[in-house]
Amino acid sequence: MLLEVLQLVIYGLVLGSVIALGAIGVSLTFGILGFANFSHGDLMTFGAYCAFLFYSQLALPFWLAFPLALLATALLAIVFDQLIYRRLRSKDSVILLISSFGIALILRALIQIIWGPDNQVYASGIQMPYRFFDGSLRLKPDQLIILATTIVLMVALHLFLQKSKTGKAMRATADNPELARLTGINTEQVIIWTWVLGGSLAAAAGIFLGLDTRLHSGMGWFLLLPIFAAAILGGIGHPYGAIVGGLIIGVVQEVSTLFIEPNYKPAIAFSVMVAMLIFKPTGLFGQKKT
């Protein structure tokens, strides 16, 4: 029983890594732009399919296809911002939210038109998992890549936010946009960088989800509830909280399969989100603004 729980915890950390990367983008967007981006899940899907294009269809090495997919998704996020969101920033946040939902529908339809509605895989074949404790615990090579690369990306994000001038400007803008603007911070540039980071991390999350499962046009949309649950659990607008929230949601969802059917895992994320909104609306790392 203990080894079975430990195996589910390992799977939960893999799923939680995907959710955490997605939740960071949601938190950054909300913290700086002040709206819930419902197209974030479909940006994940777009990033996953870009990697499929570069790696599986154009036969580029994965180490090259991965950053190219991140770059393409970041550029698309910037295009959406400049063409649509920028014109609506002065409007109510609900208008931005509805617009993001419309963009999600458009992006999903484009993905289906370009790549079709059928499931895809990066590479066919069966992976032999690494075995531990006399074979009781298993970890596939792709899952090891997901965990290792996620750690690298999170460390890089931390260094960017804490050490770089742009990262400090982003944190200042998230704390108080008006004060940041008055102190001379180029908030327009901060917004661009927000979309770069959010889009890149969304692409990474989508690619890792595709590695661990399969690619399909609704993959990011179906993961949107756990992503928002993770962002709210950690404290919306707090990227470090999103990391912790994502890992918690991933582990809780996987361990819950001991007691419920796997199809009900999203309900667990929803339950955690509701409980957090009831008992601590600011999240684990959030603070009330005075």
Query: What residues are paired with 139 via a beta bridge?
Result: 130
Lowest mean pLDDT among 30-34, 102-106, 212-216: 30-34
Separation between Cα atoms, residue 139 and residue 122, nearest integer Å = 18
pTM: 0.93
CA distance 258 to 35: 36
Least confident window among 22-36, 68-82, 201-215: 22-36
Query: 178 pLDDT exceeds 90?
Result: no
With contact defined as beta carbons under 8 Å apart, do 210 and 223 qualify?
no
More confident residue, 113 or 237: 113
Q: Write out pLDDT tens, residues 46-99.
A: 999 999 999 999 999 999 999 999 999 999 999 999 999 998 888 888 999 999
Is the CB of residue 104 less than 8 Å from the CB of residue 221? yes
pLDDT at 44 over 70: yes
Model confidence band, residue 10 (pLDDT cutoffs 50, 70, 90)? very high
The predicted pLDDT at position 290 comes to: 46
Q: What is the widest separation between alpha-carbon atoms in the chain?
A: 62
11, 212 contact by CB (below 8 A): no
Alpha carbons 221 and 103: distance in angstroms, whole number: 12
Domains in the chain, ordered, with CATH?
2-122+141-279 (1.10.3470)
